[in-house]
Structure 1
Amino acid sequence: MASHDGQLRVHPVDEKLPARRLVPAALQHIAAMYAGVVAPPLIVGAACGLSTSQQTLLIAAGLLIAGVATLLQTLGIGNFIGNRLPFVNAASSAGIGPMLAIADQSPDGRQLPTILGAVMVAGAFCLAVGPFFGRLMKYFPHRVTGVVITLIGVTLMPVPVEWARGGDTAAADFGSPRNLALAAFALVVILLMQRLFTGFLRQIALLGGLLLGTLAAVPFGMVDTSGFDTAAMVALPQPFQFGVPEFQPAAIVSMVIVMLVLMTESSAGMLALGEICDRPADRATITRGLRTDGVATLVGSLFGSCATSAFAQNVGVVSLTRVRSRFVVAAAGATLVVLGLFPKAGAVVSLVPMPVLGGAGIVLFGTISVSGIRTLAKVGLDDAPNIVIVAVSLGAGLIPLAAPDVKNAQGHIVAEGFYHDFPHWAQTVLGTGISAGTLTAVVLNLVFHHLGRRRPRPDATPATAPEAKAAPAMPGTVDTGHPPHLPQKGGRGGTELDAQTRSR
């Protein structure tokens, strides 16, 4: 890519930013993901009856593996591993439910070894299936990826809403006006920085909202320092520190199903980032990315980490800040490694109150949905089959959100959700709107655009449009078996994000 002066211009994904821009951008990624990284080990550790010190080690292991996996994704090793996108990998909350079920069905003292044994097999499964999974990308044209990206943002919106209310449903002040006001304050700060500032100050709007929101919470006693006070100074995760993994068939099957769901979500995250970064994720990119998931999950199980996958909130950070450098996320990965080795440093991030994270999260997940809508705008939505595919897939993806299991403060179900009486494996696959919507979109796309047709149908502008008659189809507007590609120099089809980036 050449600039106007004839010199080669580095793609934004490969740009190495100066420290004054790189550090704040990396901190935004850490702040956005920290709560999500510590949630799985915290919840699973408590269910397995671990002591406070053991839970600290479990969290440290999760942070360490997340950092290593993120470094592998962003920097890569040859053509074997790493998608080389600003992609964050960490333990996914999608596996919490099945892991809690495994813990409930295992004898005392053997819950965590049984879980880790199942996670280990799931990691090996991902490594074995990943290369073949990447070959399925021809079944993910814009009408499918647009649905998936939109659902990532929409179906995760309850998470920041719960954070905004306080995070702990059993707390006495959950949903209190004070919590909601603090969340609204953080949100307003982000909006004002986006509206009033330009350039670098606009890019760190998220960090500004988190920092000012935390400072505003101090006079009201809403900053909990207990985690910082009790955190150990140094924690060195050791292999098999929670016992030798045990391999139970039922637990393994459950985690393999979870891994399939995570592979789908991870692929969707790579496709979303490819669109946002103007570097479409092809089959090789998906394969290398999933191989990283497999390695991180397999090796992580030795230290006590859960199955790893993409973190959607960090896709939102990239979309919101427009900082697409993979080296920013690599710096965040290196920071996670430090936080894993030095829990006292990691506890600093935990000082940010949940309501503040909630206010920022509403912006993050909302921007992911906008990216999906932008992708759907490239599809010919006046074509009846495309309308059906998008409408039904979005509907299927929203079912778990519209009819979830409703629990009281004690955790007991008071209203059964849509999938409550389905088999456990079906609840695992369909219970998350992202995987349900993805499967629906892929199947309907096959039915309407592949089965029984000699030639693929157009995926974008209908042939009746004037511009379609005047110019040949661009790559990616036809289901050719390859993922869609975007123009590199801001031609027709370039995004508003690219135009703003070029203007700078």
Structure 2
Amino acid sequence: MNRQQEHFITKYMSQTSSLVLAGIQWFFFLFTNTVVVPLSIGHNFQMSPDAIAASMQHAFLLTGAVCILQAVFGHRYAVMDGPSGLWWGLTLSLTVSASSAGMSLERIGGGLAAGFLLAGLTMAVLGRLGAAHLLQKLFTPMVKSAMLFLMTIQLTMNFFKGMIGYTEFGTFNLPVAALSVAIAILVALIQLKGRGKLGNYAILIGIVTGWIAYSFVFPGQHAGLSGNSGGSLFTLFPWGVPTWEPGIIVTAFFVGLVNMTNSITTLSTVEKIYETQTTDQQYKRSYVLTGLFSMLSACVGVLPFGLFASSIGFLESTRILRRAAFIIGAAMLCILGLTPSVTAFFAQIPPSVGSAVLFVAYLQMFGTALRTIEGTAFNSKTIYRVALPVLTGVAVMNIPAEAFQALPIYLIPIISNGLVIGVLVSLILEKSVNWSKMENASTTSKTVTSP
């Protein structure tokens, strides 16, 4: 073997090893953004550990598959497509508010399954027809910021209750709360003080160390799975058979439209990192894939899909732009989803640990909401543009669910959902009020009264 061949082999091995390491980093990113979703949803639906493990299998398998297809045939970027945070917030909210108002969990699950199927079909059809950009005009940056503020508040409220072991009887578990606070502080310190790539693994480190600490502090409190751990990959509609629940279906359809605009925002930002231009065909293929996988996810108890804006932060911090590395990470996630025993093991993560980690992780969404309206000046009149929808939504979130029992059952999922109400108020304000006129009037007034 001559020197040229040796040099080629050495260079090839070096490139291959770096590619594999980059793929492993992507795997950890995909895993940590997926693993806690089926856990929190499963506990809200009071599913058995085996059913949660099966849902987790489906989530890993579908997320890995759609990421590979997106990278090869869809938008063709290294961007995660997985169970959407928008759908997560909606589902957590509905399982709490609607069930407290008298709807059974099976009825809620059936309504959500029908709504998810409709939303996925709508995304695939409208995306293919190129109608997504029309929605972008409707959901302005101000509407998106209100939605992000409310999503952050809604999710962190749920995670905080999970952290402290809050029960339906209005009590909390002090030892569990103390451990959860310690875990949250650890994750925050890693994110704030972590050097190099350590901060990228804050969620993973928090889950592992928190799980170990929980096992030592509360031995035997978290039951293991039964002999058939991991469930069946062919379990259909574990939340409930699709049923016609107008309030839930309309709400899910509305959130589906909002989710479509999030894809445009994410891809338009990612293309700057890649220094390229996303074509209409890339958008169309991306929407079709996300829509089809959202419909498939509705059948197996997984939240509908959407592009993760958090991928932008990962790309910027690691500079791992190669699609090959992303595909390797997604393939590893698929393999994990096809390994029931391993998936069942992860299904035993204590809910308080996952909630503590995500409480810190989702604080970043508040910054995203602020950046959405960055550069906008507010005065005593235009502040209503943000304050009214956000504070109205928060007010609705804090009304006891029992207060909505007098409403018609089909209106409860809409009226009792602070996120939906807040976004609707924002849409109405944006389309009915001339805010630019108020801004100009304020500027003119300052000019006249200035010395």
Work out whether the TM-score is over 0.5.
yes
The 5 Å alignment of 1:250-261 reads: 250-251=244-245, 254-255=248-249, 257-261=251-255
Query: For residues 30-109 of structure 1, what are the structure 2 equivalents within 5 Å?
Result: 30-40=31-41, 46=47, 57=54, 60-73=57-70, 75=71, 77-78=73-74, 85-89=79-83, 92-93=87-88, 94-95=90-91, 97=94, 101=103
Q: Does 1:237 align with 2:233?
A: yes
Task: Give yes or no for the alignment of 1:355 onto 2:352.
Answer: yes
Which amino acid is 2:427 matched to? Answer: V
CA deviation after TM superposition for structure 1 residue 156, in Å: 1.2
Superimposed CA distance per residue, residues 205-229 of structure 1 (whole angstroms, 9 cap, x where no aligned partner): 2322222222222322357664456
The reply on whether 1:370 has 2:372 as its aligned counterpart is no
| Equivalent of 2:428 in 443, 463, 467 | 443
Taking the aligned partners of 1:425 and 1:241, their CA distance within structure 2 comes to 25
Instruction: Give the aligned CA root-mean-square deviation in angstroms.
Output: 4.8
Does structure 1 residue 380 correspond to structure 2 residue 377?
A: yes
Partner in structure 1 of residue 399 of structure 2 = 403
Q: What is the aligned length? A: 414
Q: Quote the Cα distance in structure 2 between the aligned partners of 1:447 and 1:283.
A: 33
Q: Quick check: 279-288 or 146-155, which moved more? A: 279-288
Classify the secondary structure of the residue corresponding to 1:144: helix
Aligned-partner Cα distance in 1 for 2:438–2:279: 21
Distance apart, 1:161 and its partner CA: 0.7
Give 1:295 deviation, angstroms: 0.6
- Name the CA distance, whole Å, in 1 between partners of 2:345 and 2:35: 11
- Write the mapping of 1:312-351 to structure 2, written as runs, cut at 5 A: 315=310, 318=313, 322=317, 333-351=330-348
Question: CA contact under 8 A between 1:89 and 1:293: conserved in structure 2?
Answer: no
Deviation digits for residues 172-196 of structure 1 (CA, Å, limit 9, x no counterpart): 9x72222112112212222332344
Question: Are 1:200 and 2:222 counterparts?
Answer: no
- For 1:478, the equivalent position in structure 2 comes to none
Corresponding residue for residue 127 of structure 1: 124
**Change in 2 beyond 3 A, CA 1:374/1:25:** same
Q: Does residue 149 of structure 2 align to residue 150 of structure 1?
A: yes
2:265 counterpart (260, 271, 277): 271
3-state SS in 2 of match to 1:88: strand
Separation in structure 2 between the aligned mates of residue 397 and residue 331 of structure 1, nearest angstrom: 41
Query: Given the superposition, is the C-alpha separation of residues 83 and 136 from structure 1 closer, same or farther in structure 2, using an over 3 Å criterion?
Result: farther
Alignment of 1:429-440 (within 5 A): 429-440=414-425
Structure 2 stretches lacking a partner, 5+ long? 1-16, 447-451
Please give the secondary structure, in 1, of the residue aligned with 2:80. coil
Determine the C-alpha separation between the residues in 2 that align with 1:424 and 1:370: 36
Report deviation, 1:146. 2.2
d(CA) in 1 for partners of 2:225 and 2:260? Answer: 32
Letter of the 1:237 counterpart: L
Q: How far apart are residue 310 of structure 1 and its match?
A: 3.9
| CA gap 1:283/1:268 in 2 versus in 1, 3 angstroms | farther
Give the TM-score, by structure 1 length.
0.65
Aligned partners of 1:283 and 1:382: how far apart in 2? Answer: 39
Look up the SS of the partner of 1:384 in the other structure: coil
Hey, what does 2:14 align to over in structure 1?
A: none
Structure 1 residue 197: deviation in Å?
3.1
Give the direction of change, closer, same or farther, for the CA distance of 1:428–1:267 in structure 2 (3 Å limit): farther
Contact 2:392–2:422 (CA under 8 A) maintained in structure 1: yes
- Higher RCO, Cα 8 Å, sep 6+: 2
1:449 is displaced (CA, Å) by 4.1
Aligned residue type for 2:341: K
Q: Report deviation, 1:309.
A: 3.6
Give yes or no for contact 1:149–1:369 (8 Å, CA) kept in 2. Answer: yes
CA distance in 2, matches of 1:63, 1:274: 26
Counterparts of 2:313 and 2:225, CA distance in 1: 29
Q: Displacement, 1:325?
A: 5.5
Separation of aligned partners in 1, 2:298 and 2:80:
24
User: What is the CA-CA distance between 1:283 and the residue it aligns to?
Assistant: 10
Alpha carbons 1:276, 1:371 under 8 Å: kept: no
Alignment of 1:7-46 (within 5 A): 18-20=19-21, 22-24=23-25, 26-40=27-41, 46=47
From the superposition, tell whether residues 228 and 439 of structure 1 become closer, same or farther in structure 2 (CA, over 3 Å).
Answer: same
After superposition, where does 1:150-189 map in structure 2 within 5 Å?
150-166=149-165, 169=167, 175-189=172-186
Distance 1:119 1:369, change over 3 A: closer
Structure 2 equivalent of residue 486 of structure 1: none
SS of the aligned residue for 2:131 comes to helix
> Separation in 2 of the partners of 1:287 and 1:224?
48
Q: Distance in 2 between matches of 1:230 and 1:315?
A: 37
Q: In the alignment, is the contact (CA less than 8 A) between 2:163 and 2:176 conserved in 1?
A: yes
CA distance in 1, matches of 2:18, 2:146: 33
The answer for the alignment partner of 1:5 in structure 2 is none
The answer to whether the 8 Å contact 2:83/2:303 transfers is no
Partner of 2:386: 390
Distance 1:148 1:115 in 2: 20
1:468 counterpart residue number: none
Query: C-alpha offsets along residues 418-460 of structure 1, whole Å, 9 cap, x if unaligned?
Result: x55444444333433333222222221122249xx9xx9999x
Compute the displacement of 1:392 (Å). Answer: 1.0
Q: Does structure 2 retain, via aligned residues, the 8 Å contact 1:87–1:310?
A: yes
* Alignment correspondent of 1:294: 291
Q: Residues 214 and 349 from structure 1, CA distance in 2 versus in 1: closer, same or farther, beyond 3 angstroms?
A: same
User: 1:137 Cα deviation (Å)?
Assistant: 0.6
How far apart are 1:40 and its partner, in Å? 4.1
